[in-house]
Structure 1
């Protein structure tokens, strides 16, 4: 793996990966805090809804008790009681946005209800179809204060959670039930949750966009930085290989020498060293050439001296007499044969 590749990956590991890790965990933390806030807020609104429904039931029961105390004859005449519009206004009051209160007796007979079809009806008829509702209703018939959740089936078939609180009307045989849909209390929370979710999604997109931009910029910086560092190193390696091969003419580090960092200093030192090596090598070559010339001259001088000595010997009287004798001996030998 080249130094450029190593630098590139090192830069990514040291910069991009930590940024991505921090950004991802930051978004997870924000999402977790948001979910936790919504959950706790929902629970608080749920408890607030229960308290509100319970208080409504107690208030209506108190109002009905005071009315009965003022009109005790109504306790013994159900027909007259049901015809009393003022009592009807007390018994049936709104709870929340769609909830209501109702008045019934200890036998489960409804006397006042927001739904006219249920007025005068025995609520035992819901024991089989709405067991959760009937369990709360039945537990209140003996005068016990009861409050709990139940699932209500809407006309369109959907199921919604409701809460009902049942409170006795003083010491009478009548009871007040207050009920409404619990999700009505969650509306502000749901709106806030939607806004928070929208803000979170925008923040996440912006964060991921920023991380993508930073990652892209980091990649470009990594490429530039790796090239900025590896390119002069590659030039130094090429110059070293040229010096090793004895090709000093290929050593060209002018661009690297312009740098103000350590690599520029190294290139300048290397260039001076290469120039000194080239100069020394040239001096050695010149000295060898000079020595070769001198040796050749000495050889030629020695040969000339030897030739002169040979010429002196062959031209001497002694050599002439000796040559004459040799010729005579050769002639006699040829004649004797």
Structure 2
């Protein structure tokens, strides 16, 4: 079958049937289905477009007619007609008053007011709210529908109704008109229009006014007329729309039916295999390299599935080798540390016996040389102990002796003890210890961490400086802080400070010493109890270390990986991502950014946004970077979870064996000095017997004497250098 499939893939077109041409490959199936869907879309589009075109023509034609009618009638024309009507009222009243005074040249204004017919005509009302009123050239109201206003100086209303007064003031010199606001009888502020007309050659001015909202009355009539026209148009449009909806419904049914069939076929032959591969890749991403796909489609998808299976087989082999390497690394470190420590114990015992004159009195040079050897032996023992401690942390075999404890006296004792470390620096340690409750905790482990931090603080502080040590209860844990005024740490170095063997500057290891394991061990101890440890520092000003221990102990300790730097792995992946998206410039940008910034997801997102704002990145590349950063940190989180679940499977029993041997060896340390003492006594007797039997000539003695002098001189010089080096090494072990 595979041979036949291969022949198909090689393109033996002469043997292919029509079905094979149409459905033999994913590409051909996709083209065929696309053609069918496109055909359905085309028919639907053409039909729909034709009906829409007809409807548009009808709607446009009718709307054009309505627009012409609206332009002919216009609201502006209605407003002009209303204004003319108001002006006619004012002019007609002015003519009547002017005619009255022509007929009665000796008549006074009071005579006109007393003439009931003239009075009513002068202040007559029109429409619903319109009326006329009369004032003289001094702006004093003479006739008004409201008798309270008669005799009022209209200028008094200027501050309240400035637009009203402006029109009145203009009417004192001739015709005037305009809009103004006025308060009606109900206290509502409304717009009005007013026209003022002089009454012949008299000193009187007639004003006609009307509320603007009454002007809509003719507009409403126009609306009613337009409504009738629109109803007819709407009926026509409704008919076209119903027809259009019917056509669209039929086309939609056909289109949906076609799409359902196409989707079903696509799901069966394309989407299902892709989904299977996608699901498998998700499992691979979470570290499951045993997953395999089962795709039998007889086309390229089957090839992809087989390639995926071969890839996962390779990944499974690599992952197995990685686990074996990880296990071998930890086992090797434990075995090596244990085997190195085993001879160190008798060596120290023998050296201490030499120093205690068990083998005879030593001269000054011999004692100096012995001191150098003993100090370096003890230093080597402490380094080996650090490696064993890391092995215990990684193998989840770190021992804790929990007991109900008040930590305050322990902290004070450590501070007092550390006062004797580097006394020549004259550094003052200031304590701030709150009310700490008695908690179930291992005080030795807590003090181990605190001692290391105070030790580092003193080493990296300037002469005459100060160190602050604080301990306070915070909710469910106790928080410890150690602050100094020392040299500080650069921001780029704080990210890797807790990585093993790492020191902030290469020159620091020479100036201050240390293997770079102390802080890694401290962090392992703290995190083994679900505590947290972090650092804040300002370069050149000082550093603050903070760590917490829960008030409730964690008795089931989990393995914590220390020796492999996850930070370096993340940095490498991030650099590759920047280079992939931005090219060579991306690598340079990342290196420059990483020098002075802490590489967290949030900080990187902000950096990408800044580059986007500065037009260094386009939006598409910025989204790619953010997606890649998210994936890198998610994979790191999933890997950490997987490592916690795996624990020490595969080498835990062997590790336990060596830790048991380590425990037994430690128990025998007290017996070895006594055995060594008895052995030394026996060796001393043998030495005395051999010494009595020896005879030497004068020349031999002289030769030995000269050789001894030169050897002694060289030893003295070497001893001096070793002593200086050993004095420096005293301070290296806790770093």
For the criterion TM > 0.5, the same-fold answer is: yes
Listed as ranges, the matches of 1:123-138 within 5 Å are 123-138=154-169
**Partners of 1:156 and 1:148 in 2: how far apart?**
23
Deviation, structure 1 residue 186: 2.7
Q: C-alpha distance in 2, partners of 1:173/1:187? A: 35
When residues 222 and 172 of structure 1 are mapped into structure 2, their CA distance, relative to the original with a 3 A threshold, is: closer
Q: Say if 2:94 is the partner of 1:64.
A: no
Q: 1:146 deviation in Å? A: 0.9
Is 1:95 matched with 2:126?
A: yes
2:200 paired residue among 148, 170, 176: 170
Q: Of the two, which has the highest radius of gyration? A: 1
Distance 1:124 1:207, change over 3 A: same
Q: Name the SS for the 2:191 alignment partner.
A: strand
Distance in 2 (CA, whole Å) between partners of 1:138 and 1:186 is 29
Output the CA distance in 1 between the equivalents of 2:68 and 2:154.
Answer: 40
CA distance in 2, matches of 1:29, 1:193: 20
Instruction: Structure 1: give runs of 5+ residues left out of the alignment.
Output: 228-337
CA distance in 1 between counterparts of 2:183 and 2:39 reads: 66
Q: Does 1:51 find its partner at 2:81? A: no
- Residues 268-317 of structure 1 deviation map (CA, whole Å, 9 limit, x = unaligned): xxxxxxxxxxxxxxxxxxxxxxxxxxxxxxxxxxxxxxxxxxxxxxxxxx
Which whole-Å deviations, capped at 9, do the CAs of 1:214-243 have from their partners, x for residues lacking one? 23335426867999xxxxxxxxxxxxxxxx
Q: Deviations over 1:84-135 (max 9, x none)?
A: 2122023122333321111110111112111222122221222111111111
Deviation at 1:11, TM superposition (A): 2.1
Is the alpha carbon distance of 1:72 and 1:90 closer, same or farther for their aligned partners in structure 2, counting shifts above 3 Å? Answer: farther
Aligned to 1:148, which of 178, 198, 209?
A: 178
Deviates more, 1:171-180 or 1:189-198: 189-198
- Aligned pair in 2 of structure 1 residues 226, 171: CA closer, same or farther (>3 Å)? closer
Inter-CA distance 99–225: structure 2 relative to 1 (3 Å threshold): closer
Whether the 8 Å CA contact 2:90–2:195 is kept in 1: the answer is yes
Matched ranges for 1:114-263 at <5 A: 114-142=145-173, 144-193=174-223, 196=226, 200=230, 203-204=233-234, 207=237, 210-220=240-250
Counterpart contact for 2:55–2:240, Cα < 8 Å: no
Residues 146, 167 of structure 1: 8 Å contact kept: yes
8 A contact 2:48–2:247 mirrored in 1: no
Quote the residue 2:44 is aligned against.
Answer: 12
Secondary structure of 1:74's counterpart equals: coil
Separation of aligned partners in 1, 2:85 and 2:206: 15
Structure with the greater relative contact order (CA < 8 A, sep ≥ 6): 1 or 2? 1
Judging changes above 3 Å, is the alpha-carbon distance between structure 1 residues 38 and 130 closer, same or farther for their aligned structure 2 residues? farther
Aligned length: 226
In structure 1, distance between residues paired with 2:121 and 2:186 = 31
Q: 1:189 to 1:50 in 2, by over 3 A?
A: same
Is the 1:167–1:176 Cα contact (8 Å) retained in structure 2?
A: yes
Aligned residues: CA RMSD: 3.7
SS of 1:117's equivalent in the other structure is: coil
What is the SS of the residue equivalent to 2:106?
helix
TM-score when scaled to structure 2? 0.27
CA deviation profile, 1:145-204 (whole Å, cap 9, x unmatched) = 112222333344544332211111111111111111233343132243256358647855
